[in-house]
Structure 1
């Protein structure tokens, strides 16, 4: 046993040699005292595709240098932030239901109104994505990793739509006036 008064770094433990256990074989080109340098790392961000101009204004030639991605990859990027649109859609649906039931008539026209309103929301989402592509990607050279901004814009529209439905419901306006004291 080693002397306990020695510092721990200077103590050694004797181990008897064991069969089959030895120094592992060295890698190729190993040199003591020289750091091994591997392949260069791939960049963490996606490179923005470059497009070459043929000399004609507005006419692009050739291939975009970015690889083609599968449709599932694009759909996954569109889903990021979808909870905002879903929450706005749910709010608009509940408010529409209150408005439609309060009308006490045929639900055909209110249903058509709601479907057309949802189509406008889908168009607003597509317009937001297009503007994001033109401004963020083409003008500013940034990479969009999600559709969160377009979903937030769509959710704001749908919440405004729900509030508009509630403003057309007489008993909701009466209750609001009673609560606020107007």
Structure 2
């Protein structure tokens, strides 16, 4: 056994020779001093790392490359028809409510603008929650904003129904038809 006072790098272990444990058989195309690069048309056994899967990443998304602004804008537009439909429904319901109230439209207009700002904030909150849950926790890539647009559309549709419920003649027509 080696002396334990020597540094670990200087210690050696004596191993008795094993039968059949010599130099392994060489391949027929092996030449000493020449690198094996493969033949043209042959697939590589190990693919090169891509930008989506960097070498040093310990979890998905740690070192992903920055994408251009046009990609982010295109991602936000996907699903926008849901928010547009909700906004159109809310606008029509708001118009019915505002006109039925009589008087000036300044106060109802401020209410409508504030409602749209709340809807935009809800959209941003839904995107943030999606980023934290889907991208950071589950490691998935979001390819659209459909979920956030759908949440915003449901909010705007509920807001429109609330405005219609405050309109007296709409409530009386509803009660006359369904009672």
**TM-score with structure 2 setting the length:** 0.69
Q: How does 1:121-160 map to 2 (within 5 A)?
A: 121-160=119-158
Alpha-carbon distance in 2 for matches of 1:48, 1:163 = 49
| TM superposition shift of 1:68 | 1.3
**Equivalent residue for 2:93, pick from 92, 95, 106:** 95
Q: Indicate whether 1:83 and 2:81 are aligned.
A: yes
Q: Which residue of 2 aligns with 1:180?
A: 178
Q: CA, structure 1 residues 41+177, in 2 after alignment: closer, same or farther (shift >3 Å)?
A: farther
Q: Kindly report structure 1 stretches of 4+ aligned residues shifted beyond 2 Å.
A: 36-44, 46-52
Deviation at 1:170, TM superposition (A): 0.3
Aligned residues: 137
Distance in 1 of aligned mates of 2:86 and 2:156: 5
User: Quick one: which of 103, 111, 114 aligns to 1:113?
Assistant: 111
Whole-angstrom CA distance in 2 between matches of 1:151 and 1:162? 16
Q: Which residue of 2 aligns with 1:37?
A: 42
Q: Deviations over 1:122-179 (max 9, x none)?
A: 0000000000011111111111111000000000000000000000000000000000
TM-superposition CA deviations, 1:62-120 (whole Å, max 9, x none): xx522111111101100000000000000000000000000111000000000000000
2:143 partner SS: coil
RMSD: 2.7
Question: Counterparts of 2:115 and 2:54 in 1: how far apart (Å)?
Answer: 36
- How far, CA to CA, are the matches of 1:42 and 1:98 in structure 2? 61
Describe the shift of the 1:168–1:47 C-alpha distance in structure 2 as closer, same or farther (beyond 3 A): farther
Runs of 5+ unmatched residues, structure 1:
1-28, 31-35, 53-63
Asked if the contact 2:49/2:55 (under 8 Å) is kept, the reply is no
Contact 1:48–1:143 under 8 Å retained in 2: no
TM-score (norm 1): 0.68
Q: How many Å apart are 1:42 and its aligned residue?
A: 8.5
- Look up the match of 1:166: 164
Matched residues in 1 for 2:118 and 2:178: separation?
33
What is the distance in 2 between the residues matched to 1:95 and 1:43? Answer: 54
